[in-house]
Amino acid sequence: MYNTVMKKLIYYLFFLNFIQCSLFANQNYAVVLQYHRFDETKYPSTNISTELFQQQIKYLVDNDYTVWPFSRVVKYLLQKRELPNKTVAITIDDAYKSIYTKAYPLLKQYKLPFTVFVNSAPVVHESIHYLDWDEMREMGENGAEYANHTYSHQYLVRDGIKNPKNYKKYVKKELAMCEVKMQKELGEKVCNNPKILAYPFGEYDRKLMSLVKSFGYIGVAQNSGPISTESNFMALTRFPMSGGFGEMSQFRLKINTLPLPIKNISKEDTLVDASNNPPLLTLTLKKPLKNLQCFTADGKKIAMKWLNNTTVTMQAQTPLQYPRDHYTCTAHAQGDAWYWYSHLWVVLK
């Protein structure tokens, strides 16, 4: 009798532990947030108010999100190691002064790590609109890490098309001039394992990705969506939070997104010219998703044709506009969660 009761109790405890582990299981994906300016209303497309930023940060803290440095998230995904549940990374591009004056005090208060992508030319030339090295060193003592955003923040893809002959040398110089200066000024606070580059303006193509990879970098984009162990590590996606994209209803939706279960993408390149505008994209999913919908950046619905229950072709109904656009696809997952995928298009004149 005693043994039977004990066996039932052990089985019950095992079952409870199994349920608990299932509910709070680790995951192989994360959501990365992207910011630029804070309380700089002259630049609405890249600005977020400090008030809204504070609401976002407080929501992450109050709802038990795990905030990790971006480099740590990338390293775990590269190594196919599980991340904690609800993992988020905070990234900030361009090294504007308002990072220090507006965002940093709040991030320091909550002891949250963050990653700043530095285009170093205005810092080197001591622009009053950008951080200085002392400010970056101070932030580095309180949660900041730094990564490459090139020296002069040029349109690398378009420059390569205009001047292909010296393109490799040009890209290498842009990366090296930034990297060397950051290493000298910021030392161990610079992402080295792995080295990480955020593409200027979020623009990349196959040629640039190949070059950046040959120089030993991970590539980071600006088209939206969570990242996972199956992501393209030369074009890791982030959710822009500026320009009205970070309102709290959208914020709550985006930090709970899941990677769209994609098996294959027919066209990894991003270039669009007169010969292929609007571009055609084919996705093959790992499982049927009947509620999949896709839109361009301005919210126009994209025409879709299912070839079978997991393969779909899509094409915008009007030509995409210069300088860039996206095909963004979502589908309801479960509860309040949505699958999300965004494909960049670099539109040429």
Structure confidence by residue, pLDDT tens digits, 137-170: 999 999 999 999 999 999 999 999 999 999 999 9
Residue 153, number of CB atoms within 10 A of its CB: 19
Query: What pLDDT shows up at residue 25?
Result: 53
Same fold, 25-258 and 263-347: no
pLDDT tens digits, one per residue of 69-118: 999 999 999 999 999 999 999 999 999 999 999 999 999 999 999 999 99
What is the average pLDDT across 251-276?
94
What is the average pLDDT across 222-236?
97
Query: What pLDDT shows up at residue 5?
Result: 41
What is the C-alpha to C-alpha distance for residues 287 and 72, in angstroms, rounded to an integer?
Answer: 30
pLDDT band at 6 (very low <50, low <70, confident <90, very high): very low
To the nearest whole percent, how much of the chain has pLDDT over 70? 92
What is the average pLDDT across 250-257?
97
Nearest to 177 by CA among 217, 115, 117, 120: 120
Place of tokens 């990480």: 196
Query: What pLDDT shows up at residue 62?
Result: 98
Domain 263-347: CATH architecture, name and number where available? Sandwich (2.60)
Look at residue 50 and tell me whether its pLDDT is greater than 50: yes
pLDDT tens digits, one per residue of 174-200: 999 999 999 999 999 999 999 999 999
Residue 80 half-sphere exposure toward CB, CA atoms < 13 A: 1
What is the average pLDDT across 45-71?
98
Burial 192-217 (b: 16+ CB within 10 A, else e): eeebbbbbbbbbbbebbbebbeeeeb
CATH topology classification for 25-258: TIM Barrel (3.20.20)
What is the average pLDDT across 32-38?
98
CA distances in angstroms from 1 to 5, 12, 14, listed in the order given? 6, 17, 20
pLDDT tens digits, one per residue of 200-227: 999 999 999 999 999 999 999 999 999 9
Domains of the chain, by residue range, sit at: 25-258, 263-347
**What residues contact residue 81 under an 8 Å CB cut-off, 6+ apart?**
none
Give the mean pLDDT of the chain. 93
